[in-house]
Amino acid sequence: MSHTEITRMKPSPVPLATLIGRELRNEKVEKPFVKYGQAALAKKGEDYFLIKLDCQRIPGNPSTSFSVFAIFDGHNGISAAIFAKENLLDNVLSAIPQGISREEWLQALPRALVAGFVKTDIEFQQKGMFRTYFIVGETSGTTVTFVVIDGWTVTVASVGDSRCILDTQGGVVSLLTVDHRLEENAEERERVTASGGEVGRLNVFGGNEVGPLRCWPGGLCLSRSIGDTDVGEFIVPIPHVKQVKLSNAGGRLIIASDGIWDALSSDMAAKSCRGLPSELAAKLVVKEALRSRGLKDDTTCLVVDIIPSDLPVLPPTPRKRQNVLASLLFGKKSQNSVNKAKLSAVGAVEELFEEGSAMLDERYDLLT
């Protein structure tokens, strides 16, 4: 059965043996290796991360495996970050219909991510206070950057300012997330004020304004998050979602909390660790951020390499401008990040889906 025939079929219950056979026929192209490294330095102890390499679309069938990587940067406490770490993945997967093909699963994933984020926020608001790890008096919230890797397809959902970048063949660096800091995002400022919220800086004695732009009531610097029970309805948990398909040359993801991005640009972070195995790369990115700015915030970094299956595994080597591993993974470095047209070029990325509206009725009819 061809991919075209499969996608024309309406989702319906399918016998397990048939579904497994279909998956085996469709997975003719060998899956890439996924290798990762993690590094962190704590200042406030509010950063958390999730790594799961053994997820399966069809339980018991390893050929349907996919990986999940996520960062949760909490603020005003840790409860929301812990709650999201423990519940978000299950909420996303529960929103995907059963008995569908891989293509249909990937097409359903963006909608499921929106549903999962919203459900996790609602559950935290309604039930979080009864969990054993909920701290009385906390009104915490968290950023979330949630990455699903299935073969060469990468899907990223995010609220807040924990950035995810993609470094691909030729040294092309592209953003897979949108910054939801009010200071950085004019569209989000307009959305908040159009909804009746106020955006402004903190007023101190004498009427002077200091610090970053914030949303009032609440005074949060972000326009989207999970949690934050003390802010108005202007702060929403609806994620920006982007789905891309890599070429078979592979690529590197750098997922990090703002402790990294306040110190390093996307290009600086990518350039600083090119040519290193992911384990060392994550440590070096954290080290570079610390050297640049000092430890002013929790600093967490995940580096994920999506590597062609025939790429030789090289031992760690000292960092150079361009060593063998960098050449195999990314080729020569270009001067800077490029626009969508260039990202769609052969050997880079194919954009499959992107949507960032904060309005549910513009995204999906989740309530029907």
Going from the first residue of the chain to its last (368 residues), give the mean pLDDT of each consecutive group of 10, the final group possibly shorter: 40 49 53 96 96 94 96 95 97 96 97 97 80 63 98 98 93 95 96 92 80 91 93 92 95 97 97 96 97 92 94 42 39 40 55 88 55
- Supply the pLDDT for residue 134: 58
Q: What is the pLDDT of residues 308-353, one digit of tens each?
A: 987 754 333 334 344 434 333 344 333 334 445 445 443 568 999 9
Query: CB under 8 Å, gap of 24 or more: what pairs does 265-274 form?
Result: 266/163, 266/165, 266/173, 266/175, 266/337, 267/173, 267/336, 267/337, 269/165, 270/165, 270/167, 270/171, 270/173, 271/171, 271/333, 273/303, 273/319, 274/167, 274/171, 274/322, 274/326, 274/330, 274/333
Could you tell me if residue 11 is inside a domain? no
Same-domain check for residues 216 and 267: no
Same domain, 75 and 207: no
Q: Are residues 49 and 190 in the same domain?
A: no
Residue 250 and residue 106 share a domain: yes
Asked whether residue 212 is domain-assigned, the answer is yes
Show the CA angle centred on residue 47, arms to residues 290 and 159, nearest 5°.
105
- Asked whether residue 7 is domain-assigned, the answer is no
**Residue given tokens 């309406």 in the structure block:** 10
- What is the residue range of 190's domain? 181-221
Number of domains the chain is built from: 2
Question: Which CATH number goes with the domain that contains 318?
Answer: 3.60.40.10
Question: Which runs of E-coded beta strand occur in the chain?
Answer: 33-41, 47-56, 65-75, 141-150, 153-159, 164-168, 172-175, 198-203, 209-216, 226-227, 240-246, 251-256, 299-307, 349-355
Same domain as 156, residue 135:
yes
Phi, psi (5° rounding) for residue 317?
Answer: -130, 155
Residues 338 and 247 reside in one and the same domain: yes
Domain-embedded: residue 368: no
Q: Collect all residues with Cβ–Cβ distance below 8 Å to 322 and sequence separation of at least 6.
A: 274, 275, 332, 333
Q: What is the pLDDT of residue 128?
A: 58
Q: What are the tokens at 217? A: 């009531």
> What would the two tokens of residue 8 be?
């024309």
Compute the distance between CA of residue 193 and CA of residue 197 in angstroms, rounded to an integer: 5
Burial class (CB in 10 A: 0-12, 13-18, 19+), 62: exposed
In a domain, 23, yes or no: no
160 and 302 part of one domain: yes
Tell me, yes or no, whether 124 and 268 share the same domain: yes
Does 52 map to a domain? yes
Out of 163, 198, 221, a domain closes at 221
With a CB cutoff of 8 Å and minimum separation 6, the contacts of 294 are none
| Domain stops at, among 195, 221, 247 | 221
Please tell me whether residues 260 and 348 are part of one structural domain.
Answer: yes
Tokens found for residue 128: 């979080």
Q: What is the pLDDT of residue 121?
A: 96
Select from 221, 249, 277 the last residue of a domain: 221
187, 125: one domain? no
Q: What is residue 334's predicted lDDT score, i.e. its pLDDT? A: 36
Task: Name the E strands within 209-317.
Answer: 209-216, 226-227, 240-246, 251-256, 299-307
Q: Are residues 174 and 187 in the same domain?
A: no
Tell me, yes or no, whether 241 and 120 share the same domain.
Answer: yes
Residue 189, in any domain of the structure: yes
State the Cα–Cα distance between residues 276 and 284, nearest whole angstrom: 9
On whether residue 226 sits in a domain, the answer given is no
Which two structure tokens, joined as six digits, stand for 74?
């909490």
| pLDDT attached to residue 326 | 38
